[in-house]
Structure 1
Amino acid sequence: MQADGQDDGQAAKETGKGRVPAVVRAVAVLDLIADMPKSLGVSDIARHLGLPKSSVHGICETLVGLGLLRFGPGGYGPGPRPLSWSAAFLRRSSLVSEFQHLLAHDRRLSDFTVTLSTLDGASVVYLACHNADKPLGFIFHAGMQLPAVYTATGKAMLSALPEAERRARIAGPWHPPFTANSVRGPVEFEQDVQRWRTLGYAVDNGEIREGMVCLGAPILNDRGMPAAGIAVSMTSAEARPEVRETLGAIIVEIARKLSGH
């Protein structure tokens, strides 16, 4: 019990005044499980988060009872309840609604995968996705998180930020590259910023997945800051120079239409 009490005190210091350590722990467990490709046992969760097994077991069982986690043969996995929260968020987001409306009426991108995302620290979180029928080798879905420095929308949104804020966001440990094409560090990333600004959109050329090319443009708010990003994805075989130029112009146009929502 003493060890748990000490951990609670440490958690209070780390999470800041006004935050409840137990809630912070529960969210950390949910984030970890959501980020893993398979279910996790109590020992795995405790090791990843540096928490006592007894605390992890109590948190997980509570979350199972609330429908936030499920328990199966492999351990704990995501539960269904967050889906209702996600749906409520999407219903209230005029940006997502406008994105869906534009895609339904603007058929120029109907043959391609199109995504809407927003920045969350050094990551992008996908808000809405239209996955094309033809195989891309990668499926986007709402709620997915990826390192911003490797994605087209992440590059575009980061490039639209003031330099100091951009550098602060990417100053932490560099995410391991997904492919040999992934940008290698902050210095290399900064070398491309002016290019993306001049183009009006950024390019992920096989950085998330080899053979996939994405073009992303920032959606700016009324203060000129990136509120979100829109991207179109295609295979490298489709991404001929003239196709990139045409689709890049289209997503820049749509991003401008979405700005302010």
Structure 2
Amino acid sequence: MTKVVDMADAQPKRLVPAIDRAVMVLDLIAAEPGVAGVSELARRLGLAKSSVHGICDTLCALGLLRVAGSGFEMGPRSLHWSASFLDRSDLVSEFERILSEDRRLDDYTVTLSTLSGAEVMYLACRNAAKPLGFTFQLGMRLPAIYTATGKAMLSQMESEQRQALLAGPWPAAFTANSVASLEALEGQFSEWRQLGYALDRGEIRDGMVCLGAAVKDRSGKPVAGIAISMTSAEASAAALKDCGVIVGELAAKLMVR
């Protein structure tokens, strides 16, 4: 178990109250993106509502937070500070090591992502040399419901948790193939669990097919997702079957222990 250090006890003379309060807000929102608005944050953190309002306004203006429904989620600027950590993190490093050793996917675009609220955020990507018509980038965010990794991670959640996460407005469709409702999405999950991977058949971009598998922790909860992307011309039944096996194997190797 990770030991929580009370910084107010560890360094009482160096603690800046305004920064401490801002970090409290960021920590709660990072743990529960989109859940809490100003009033709820103030109540749960034991802070004045006016103080929390000013903190959230400032953090939004700086790009460290952004509005998500009736609450907030982490903003894109946090990626500037996390880049060096991500470069050294065990999960990203292991992803890169596995790809360097397993040459079966050299012809395909391969990505590593995690859930951030109802979106997936890309932690690492290796784009194929041949044209795919879509370029994945570090820090890119896409609606989880339309992506292979998002579907794979969502399929491994308890139904109540999944529905709470997707309770907000349904994102605008990217293509005519984008799943149209939560009911339609729920109907796909048993297939993804049976296969061991999920499919995005042109839901992000016409002509692009992705297969994604969930990376789990020791308790079986999804913490990340790994995906293979290809053109629809490459996505024969045989190719999908073979790549489905591979992406499942890679996700198992990346399991967070």
TM-score, length of structure 2 as denominator length: 0.75
Superposition deviation, residue 33 in structure 1: 11
With 19-28 and 123-132 compared, the bigger mean Cα shift is at 19-28
Q: 1:112-154, CA deviations, whole angstroms, 9 ceiling, x for partnerless residues?
A: 1000000111111110010111111111111111100000000
- Given candidates 239, 242, 248, the residue that maps to 1:246 is 242
Superposition deviation, residue 210 in structure 1: 0.4
What does residue 64 of structure 1 align with? none
- Given candidates 99, 102, 109, the residue that maps to 2:98 is 102
Superposition deviation, residue 92 in structure 1: 4.0
Q: 1:170-199, CA deviations, whole angstroms, 9 ceiling, x for partnerless residues?
A: 121100110000000000000000000000
Q: Does 2:160 align with 1:134?
A: no
Superposition deviation, residue 16 in structure 1: 2.9
Q: Does 2:61 align with 1:29?
A: yes
Q: Does 2:91 align with 1:111?
A: no
1:15·1:24 contact (CA, 8 Å) conserved in 2?
Answer: no
State the alpha-carbon separation in 2 of the partners of residues 259 and 202 from structure 1: 17
Q: Does 2:255 align with 1:259?
A: yes
What does residue 38 of structure 1 align with? none
Q: CA RMSD in A?
A: 2.5
Gaps of 5+ in 2: 1-36, 70-75
- CA gap of 1:30–1:149, structure 2 versus 1, over 3 A, is farther
What does residue 221 of structure 2 align with? 225
2:114·2:223 contact (CA, 8 Å) conserved in 1?
Answer: yes
State the alpha-carbon separation in 2 of the partners of residues 230 and 82 from structure 1: 20
What does residue 161 of structure 2 align with? 165
Q: Percent same amino acid at aligned positions?
A: 53
State the alpha-carbon separation in 1 of the partners of residues 88 and 171 from structure 2: 32
2:56·2:65 contact (CA, 8 Å) conserved in 1?
Answer: no
Superposition deviation, residue 23 in structure 1: 3.5
Counterpart AA for 1:190: E
What does residue 208 of structure 1 align with? 204
Gaps of 5+ in 1: 1-10, 35-48, 50-77
Q: Does 2:85 align with 1:89?
A: yes
State the alpha-carbon separation in 2 of the partners of residues 23 and 210 from structure 1: 41
How many correspondences in the alignment?
Answer: 209
2:175·2:204 contact (CA, 8 Å) conserved in 1?
Answer: yes
What does residue 192 of structure 1 align with? 188
Query: What secondary structure, in the 3-state scheme, does the structure 1 residue paired with 2:203 have?
Result: coil
- CA gap of 1:89–1:21, structure 2 versus 1, over 3 A, is farther
List, as ranges, runs of 4+ consecutive aligned residues in structure 1 with deviation greater than 6 Å.
none
2:155·2:192 contact (CA, 8 Å) conserved in 1?
Answer: yes
1:90·1:96 contact (CA, 8 Å) conserved in 2?
Answer: yes
